[in-house]
Every structure is written in structure tokens, then in C-alpha cells.
Structure 1
Amino acid sequence: MGRWQPGAPDRLRRAALDLFGEQGFDATSVAQITERAGVTERTFFRHYADKREVLFTGDEFQEPFLRAAAAAPAGTPVLDVVAAVLEAACAAFEAGRTRHDARARQRIIDAHAGLRERELLKLTHLADALTAALGERGTAALPARLAADLAVSVFVTAFGAWIAEGEERDLVHLQREALAEVRALVTGTR
């Protein structure tokens, strides 16, 4: 494939996932990724700062969470805003990824301490952004932070269930189930 053909970021992501899975993250070079993707290293660095960033796309991960928080009607209880945020984010997340690729990505991250740290940083940034979005809605600082952390925790829990081998339910269903468990814990019915 010529470097001028469209879809370079997707080809690079696919090539990187395949190579990381085959030979490990540390053993894979940018040159190998670009060769497999059929692009130049210059093209790689136009899209990604380093090979780690292929696994951690930018702000588009946060966008559905933040859009849903902003779109919730004024006066909506914060836990209902969290539910709406999770609903929208999980639907968008699942629509943009295959379970197979998500499993492969997670195996790569789980096998490398530095990548696990980077994943936690991404989730912390999401919690920070959600805290700010809830604050902009008028939620006080402490409940905004707790609600944001809860949203991230429920998302991570549902995602972990979604990528589990043998799991067939969709991500939205799994997040609803996880949030229902949280509500049961909070109300003392669990």
C-alpha cells in the first residue's frame, strides 16, 4: 500500500496490535509496524508520538462521556447523569471497536507494567474531565469527583466483563448491570 492511501492510522493500529501480540510490545519496533502497515516511519510519527500511543488514542475516548454529561437536562440528579454518561459512552465505545481487538489490546497492556500505568493515567484523565464537566453543571466538587470516579469504575468493570472469554452480552447491558449493583450497594439492598 502506498503511503498516500487513506486509512494509515487504522492500518498502523492493526499492524501494531498484531505485532505486539505476536512478539511482545518491547520486541516490536516502529520500523516493523510501518513495514507491516505499508507506510513510512514519517507517516507513523505524523499520527503517533511513539509506539505506545498506538494503543492509547487521544481525546476521542473521552468525547462520548463528556457530550452525554453536557447533554443531560438541568436538574438531573448526578447519579442519573452518570447513568446517561455510561449509556452513551458504552454504546459509542462498542460501536467503534471489536471485542476481539479490545481483548488483544488488553492482553498487551496487561503484559507490560508501563502500559498498565499509561492505561491508569488515561482513566485518571477521564475522571478529571468528568469531574470538571459535572462541576460545570453545578455539581459541588466532592460529589462531582465521587460521581466521576464511580462512572470510570463502572465503565472499567463493565469493560472487563465485556472482554472476558465467552462473554456475549453487549457493553451497554454490562454497564447497566454494574451500575445496578452500585445502586443496590448504596441503598443497602445488597
Structure 2
Amino acid sequence: MPRSGAEARRRLRQAALELYRERGFDQTTTAEIAARADVNERTFFRHFPDKREVLFDGQADLRDALTRAVAEAPDGLEPLDVLLGAFREGGRILEENRPFSEPRQEIIAATPTLRERELAKAAALTDALADALRRRGVADRLAALAAQTGWAAFHHAVQAWIDDPSQSLDAHLSQTFADLRALTGHYVRGSRGAG
């Protein structure tokens, strides 16, 4: 039996991941996760409110790292540059947890209830990022747009990193944000030319 709370939490996350991959999320119970982790079900509920949250463990840490990076970014940067720097910080957390991050994304993608939960978590995270940008003096509508666009780009880069692990997440982030700037630049130039 795990002796520390951190060890029990790690084992519960690993057990859940294994069972979700073997049986599917909907077919797995909290009792089965606890048994696989060699703890009782009460211990499961001390760490997680439900079996969905096992896959979202660490979201608060990610949110805190991102908003702190936005707050600490140098003055004078454009909002997307601030976010790119923040996502690089967040990306380090994901890279350190790649053995969990990659299968986690596959499980979420295959499970409608988890995709819905991920959307709710993403909305809360983008709200936190928008608030952090507002505190830097970014106008309200631009802060919200930048946070939503930045989060979409981050999510796109993470999926590219999972699909192509030959490059670091940082390299995928740089490419995705460069693509976003190119896409935006092409659209703006095309719109001006059409008018």
C-alpha cells in the first residue's frame, strides 16, 4: 500500500489511465481503479471527487503556471507573445508528464463526456488567462479574443506534439504561433486588397 498521499494519488492516476485504456472510461468504476492502485475506494475519493477528475489532475497547477507567466512577462509584448511565453511554461509541465499526457488525450478524444468536461475546463482556463491579460492593461474584448485564440493554438500544438514526438512541444508551439501570425497576416492583407 502506498504510504504517502502523493504516492497514492500517483498510483490512482496510473491505475485509472491503464483501466481506461483497457476497458474504456465508461466501463471502469472507481472501485476498480482503487483496487488496481492497491488502495481502498475511500482513498480514491479523498483524492478525486469522481473518476473524470483523475484525468484533469494538475489543471490548477497548469492554470497557476500560465497566469503567473502572463503576469511576469516583460512589459511591451503583444498579447499573443505574452501567451506564447506562458504556454511555453505550461508546456514544460506537459513534457514532464508526457507518459500521462499522451494517453490522457487519447482517452478524452474517445469519450464524449470527457470531451465535454475538457471544454468546460478549457473555458475556465481561458477566462483566467483573459483576466491575467486584462490586469496587464489589455482591453477587455482583445484579452478574451487573445486568450481563446491562444488556447486553441496551444491545444493544436499539443496535439501536433503527440502526433509528432520527434520535435519538442516548444518547437510545435513556435510553429503553431508562427502559423497563426501568418494566417492572420494573410487574412488582413487579403481583406484590405479586396476593399
Q: Which moved more, 1:13-22 or 1:103-112?
A: 103-112
Asked if the contact 2:80/2:146 (under 8 Å) is kept, the reply is: yes
C-alpha distance in 1 between matches for 2:123 and 2:5? 35
Asked if the contact 1:158/1:178 (under 8 Å) is kept, the reply is: yes
Residue 121 of structure 1 corresponds to 120
Asked if the contact 2:80/2:150 (under 8 Å) is kept, the reply is: no
> Which sections of structure 2, spanning at least 5 residues, go unmatched?
191-195
Q: Which moved more, 1:153-162 or 1:71-80?
A: 71-80
Counterpart amino acid of residue 160 in structure 2: A
Q: CA deviation at 1:91?
A: 2.1
Q: CA deviation at 1:92?
A: 2.7
Residue 170 of structure 2 corresponds to 172
Q: CA deviation at 1:123?
A: 1.0
Counterpart amino acid of residue 136 in structure 2: R
Residue 32 of structure 2 corresponds to 32
What is the root-mean-square deviation of aligned Cα atoms in Å?
1.8
> Which sections of structure 1, spanning at least 5 residues, go unmatched?
none
Alpha-carbon spacing, 1:4–1:171, altered in 2? closer, same or farther (3 Å): closer
Counting only pairs closer than 5 Å after superposition, residues 123-142 of structure 1 correspond to structure 2 as 123-142=122-141
C-alpha distance in 1 between matches for 2:170 and 2:129? 19
Q: CA deviation at 1:59?
A: 1.0
Alpha-carbon spacing, 1:135–1:19, altered in 2? closer, same or farther (3 Å): same
Greater RCO structure (CA 8 Å; 6+ sep): 1
C-alpha distance in 2 between matches for 1:186 and 1:6? 44
Residue 78 of structure 2 corresponds to 77
Residue 157 of structure 1 corresponds to 156
Q: Which structure features the higher share of helix residues?
A: 2
Aligned residue pair count: 187
Q: 1:104-156, CA deviations, whole angstroms, 9 ceiling, x for partnerless residues?
A: 11221122111110011111111100000101111110110111012101110
